[in-house]
Amino acid sequence: MITCFIRYDIDPFKGDAFAAYAKAWGQAIPRCGADLIGYFGPHEGSATTAYGVYNIENLAAYEAYRARLRDDPLGRENYEFARRERFILKEDRLFLKNLSLPHGPKVSA
């Protein structure tokens, strides 16, 4: 299993547009085969940094997932929405593997 971290630089005056974009991915990403952890937008600190995070089996599964996402009606609509509204200034993807699994039990205080 690998985790995709998408780092977005967003227009600080178009946070509502990014929130709508994130909400749409909340439907399309799981439907197309990835395990969505979530989309995270500015709260405190930076008003321009946001993240999307999801798990996928491997890079081959990622390529198949991306093809399904491009063909998905909501996926196509969301890509077009981002292109039209231009609230994403920069987007970077990073694939990481969780090295700490399995996690141990939580310690009670």
Domains of the chain (ranges, CATH numbers): 2-96 (3.30.70.100)
DSSP state of 13: T
Strand 2-10 and strand 35-40: pairing? unpaired
Q: Helix crossing, 73-85 with 15-32: angle to 10°?
A: 160
Say which residues have a Cβ less than 8 Å from residue 73's Cβ, sequence separation at least 6: none
Q: What pLDDT score was predicted for residue 45?
A: 86
pLDDT per position as a tens digit, 70-95 = 999 999 999 999 999 999 999 999 99
Q: Residue 54 in contact with residue 34, Cβ under 8 Å?
A: yes
Q: pTM value?
A: 0.88
